[in-house]
């Protein structure tokens, strides 16, 4: 059957006259309706595990802006929690986890088939969304990449340079590789279940790919993501996969094939004209507007949006930011970006 949804058409390699659009962290604290629902849920994790309310916040930016895709409301750190790590969020600071750095701690993680006990509410959110989304809107599921998730599991929090994960990699390679493997296997299970529940596309967030150098980048960013895409494609050959190796820079060349992804999401560190020539030639790209334009707006937002649309206009492109929208963004600037992309 011919594919009608614009996001899925772009992911299949079609060049569209107007790129479809969605936004990383489109359900978030810059929206007053999100803050209200979050207050109702109590805290962030209670919101993630409440299918009705998680579906509600996923739908809010679709109702307000008519984005072409909705991304499941959840977090990349729910998988470590499902594997047995303690997880909590400190207001104003971010996530905290119990750490895994020894063979004993690795051995104590839960077996793979136990993760669904924790993650079932997430699949329920996906089911609600696949019923309630407008028929033209694509539902995107997601997970973190093994490396990025490992950086949080090893450090117990976000780190500017991922030093604890790099240290474990140097000092206890078997444990480090064991953690990467366990996350890889868990992610295959988790994303397969999201797809079975109704996700039409999945995205792998490798937010910290850029801190891996040389062979490590191939071994611990690219290869685990490739293992995940290969396993998912075997089970669900028609479900497209977006990979986001943030900070990969020139290493984005050849990345579609290396990861086995249908689309490479680009951060704002690569130039759009360069990326059109060197990355988009291999398939769909997504990105790469600086998130800060959602705070500052104005003529620069309009001209930058147009520049990116023009640079990617000769191939498959999904318009998006280079990273998540920030809580200080102005919701009116999001509308201005959308109007500019759609030529209104």
Between 245 and 315, CB nearer to ligand CP3: 245
Between 9 and 203, CB nearer to ligand CP3: 203
By CB under 6 A, is residue 324 in contact with ligand CP3? yes
What is the closest distance, in whole angstroms, from the C-beta atom of residue 103 to ligand CP3 in the complex?
A: 26
Q: Which stretch binds ligand CP3 (CB under 6 A): 18-26, 194-202, 215-223, 335-343?
A: 18-26
What is the closest distance, in whole angstroms, from the C-beta atom of residue 299 to ligand CP3 in the complex?
A: 27
By CB under 6 A, is residue 336 in contact with ligand CP3? no
**E strands, the chain, in order:** 69-71, 87-90, 94-97, 138-144, 201-206, 241-245, 263-265, 284-289, 317-321
What is the closest distance, in whole angstroms, from the C-beta atom of residue 314 to ligand CP3 in the complex?
A: 28
Q: Which stretch binds ligand CP3 (CB under 6 A): 4-12, 23-31, 300-308, 313-321?
A: 23-31
Between 19 and 80, CB nearer to ligand CP3: 80
Q: Which stretch binds ligand CP3 (CB under 6 A): 75-83, 102-110, 118-126, 291-299?
A: 75-83
Size of site (CB under 6 A) for ligand CP3: 21
Residue in 172, 140, 192 with CA at minimum distance from that of residue 5: 140
CB atoms within 10 A of CB 178: 16
The rounded distance, in Å, linking the Cα atoms of 128 and 54 is 10
By CB under 6 A, is residue 265 in contact with ligand CP3? no
By CB under 6 A, is residue 288 in contact with ligand CP3? no
Three-state DSSP class for residue 344: coil
Between 205 and 217, CB nearer to ligand CP3: 205
The residue from 27, 150, 195, 276 that contacts ligand CP3 (CB under 6 A) is 27
Between 44 and 274, CB nearer to ligand CP3: 44
Strand order in the sheet with 317-321: 69-71, 138-144, 201-206, 241-245, 263-265, 284-289, 317-321
How many whole angstroms from its chain centre is CA 223?
18
Structure tokens at 181: 């493997």
The residue from 10, 41, 77, 79 that contacts ligand CP3 (CB under 6 A) is 77
Q: In the range 162-221, which residues lie near ligand CP3 by CB under 6 A?
A: 205, 207
Structure tokens at 214: 């040389």
Between 176 and 205, CB nearer to ligand CP3: 205
Q: In the range 35-74, which residues lie near ligand CP3 by CB under 6 A?
A: 38, 44, 71, 73
The rounded distance, in Å, linking the Cα atoms of 82 and 270 is 35
The residue from 6, 26, 320, 340 that contacts ligand CP3 (CB under 6 A) is 26
For 241, which DSSP code?
Answer: E
**E strands, 34-167, in order:** 69-71, 87-90, 94-97, 138-144
**Would you say the C-alpha torsion 321, 65, 89, 223 has a positive or negative sign?**
negative
By CB under 6 A, is residue 28 in contact with ligand CP3? yes
Query: Which secondary-structure segment (H or E) carries 130?
Result: helix 115-132
By CB under 6 A, is residue 315 in contact with ligand CP3? no
The rounded distance, in Å, linking the Cα atoms of 36 and 34 is 5
The residue from 12, 13, 16, 29 that contacts ligand CP3 (CB under 6 A) is 29
By CB under 6 A, is residue 85 in contact with ligand CP3? no
Q: Which stretch binds ligand CP3 (CB under 6 A): 27-35, 167-175, 217-225, 307-315?
A: 27-35
Contact 112, 153 (CB under 8 A): no
Length reported for the chain: 344
- Between the alpha carbon of residue 120 and those of residues 112, 194, 247, the distances in Å are 14, 10, 32
Interface ranges with ligand CP3 (CB under 6 A): 24-29, 38, 44, 71, 73, 75-77, 94-95, 142, 144, 158, 205, 207, 324
């Amino acid at each position: 059957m011919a594919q009608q949804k614009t996001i899925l058409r772009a992911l299949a390699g079609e060049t569209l006259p107007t790129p479809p659009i969605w936004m990383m962290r489109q359900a978030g604290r810059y929206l007053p309706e999100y803050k209200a629902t979050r207050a109702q849920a109590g805290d962030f994790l209670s919101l993630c595990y409440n299918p009705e309310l998680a579906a509600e916040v996923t739908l809010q930016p679709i109702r307000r802006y008519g984005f072409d895709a909705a991304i499941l409301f959840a977090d990349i750190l729910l998988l470590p929690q499902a594997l047995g790590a303690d997880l909590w969020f400190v207001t104003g600071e971010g996530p905290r986890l119990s750490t895994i750095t020894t063979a004993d701690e690795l051995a104590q993680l839960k077996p793979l088939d136990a993760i669904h006990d924790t993650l079932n509410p997430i699949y329920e959110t996906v089911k609600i969304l696949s019923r309630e989304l407008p028929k033209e809107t694509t539902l995107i599921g997601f997970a973190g990449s093994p490396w990025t998730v490992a950086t949080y599991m090893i450090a117990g929090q976000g780190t500017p340079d991922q030093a604890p994960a790099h240290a474990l990699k140097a000092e206890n390679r078997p444990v480090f590789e064991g953690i990467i493997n366990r996350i890889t296997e868990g992610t295959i299970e988790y994303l397969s279940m999201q797809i079975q529940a109704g996700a039409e596309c999945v995205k792998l967030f490798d937010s910290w790919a850029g801190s891996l150098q040389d062979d490590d980048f191939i071994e611990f960013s690219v290869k685990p993501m490739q293992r995940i895409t290969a396993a998912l494609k075997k089970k669900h050959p028609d479900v497209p996969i977006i990979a986001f190796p943030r900070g990969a820079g020139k290493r984005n060349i050849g990345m579609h094939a290396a990861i086995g992804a249908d689309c490479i999401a680009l951060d704002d560190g690569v130039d759009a004209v360069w990326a059109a020539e060197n990355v988009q030639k291999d398939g769909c790209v997504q990105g790469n507007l600086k998130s800060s334009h959602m705070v500052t707006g104005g003529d620069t937002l309009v001209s930058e949006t147009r520049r990116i649309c023009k640079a990617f206009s000769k191939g498959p492109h999904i318009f998006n930011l280079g990273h998540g929208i920030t809580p200080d963004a102005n919701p009116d600037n999001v509308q201005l970006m959308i109007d500019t992309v759609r030529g209104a």
